[in-house]
Amino acid sequence: MGGELCSANDSGTAQVSLDQSEIIFVGTGTSEGIPRVSCLTNTDKTCPVCSKATEPGNKNRRLNTSLLVRFPRPSGKCNILIDAGKPSIVSSVKHMPSTKLPLCLHISARISVRIRTIDAVIITHSHADAIGGLDDLRDWTNNVQPSIPIYTTIRDFEVMKKTHYYLVDTSSIIPGAAVSDLKFNIIQEEPFIIHDLQFTPLPVWHGRGYRSLGFRFGNICYISDASEIPEDTYPLLKNCDILILDALRPDRSSSTHFGLPKALEEVRKIQPKRTLFTGMMHLMDHDKVNEDLMKLKQTEGLDVQLSYDGLRVPISL
């Protein structure tokens, strides 16, 4: 079986039935994650957000940005992961007490989802916070399923041929060595289908001259790493029910990421029904920023909030 609900103990998370499609925010943070080691070891200054993030279950605790898309099929839930960063989805897996039970994915100690397959991994770009956890998939390919398909562009595949050369070309691996068995599928900037679900690439700029992809599936649009949206991409964002959008910091954009003010400009232009921001750094206090964002619903009718690791949202596909 692909998976089933194990438990949901966070009051802010929706209950999801077995026949319901859903998205789960595996990670919502920057490349270094939250809390930052540099903040926790600083004896001269206390970082409020990183300090809060040390508390179990605190919504400021953030892994590298990643999303799990789950939808029903006859054999069980299909699990498609978008990006596998340094502290990847597999890093959060704990075995259930009985070996007869399925593996149970624990996301930020908030959501537990029984999964037995990772049906595919889609890569947005080839930075370490998107591909650094690919090697961790070896537990699945060695013990659960024969291999995992990876969907990536040719430019990112060329990077992985260098950074993960032993996963791309397994001919040089010492016999008996345990590495992930990954099957790379090259995608273009045009729609492709995984297990009957269509994914439409959303090309964006992630810094000057660096191309990254968001993805649309159904009426969900996911853009995790962006500093600019090309004009040709906006038509692909029309009639969006849920927009998941990059928002690094509260005050301004960086050279490679939207800040919250620019992200809000994009929301006003795209006009989705609901927006959940992701990719937040340690200057973004979950509760404080969300309190301010809630005012925009009253003043402008904007339904915008920060997401958090473990947030589980029912969707229609």
Return the bridge partners of 4, or none: 114
Domain range summary for the chain, segments of one domain joined by +? 3-315
- Among the four given CATH numbers 3.30.70.2700, 3.30.930.10, 3.60.15.10, 3.40.50.150, the one describing domain 3-315: 3.60.15.10
Mean pLDDT computed over 227-254 = 98
Position 88 confidence tier, pLDDT thresholds 50, 70, 90: low
**pLDDT > 90: percent of the chain:** 74
Instruction: Name, in order, each residue with C-beta under 8 angstroms of 225's C-beta and a sequence gap of 6 or more.
Output: 65, 124, 125, 127, 130, 204, 206, 212, 246, 256, 257, 279
Residue pLDDT, tens place only, 40-50? 999 999 999 99
How far does the chain reach from its first CA to its final CA, in angstroms? 20
**Neighbour count for residue 78 (Cβ, 10 Å):** 21
Position 104 confidence tier, pLDDT thresholds 50, 70, 90: very low
Mean pLDDT computed over 27-37 = 93
Which of these ranges, 67-71, 83-87, 291-295, 298-302, has the smallest mean pLDDT?
Answer: 83-87
Residue 245 has pLDDT above 50, yes or no: yes
CA angle 118, 11, 7 (to 5 degrees): 40
pLDDT at position 100 is 39
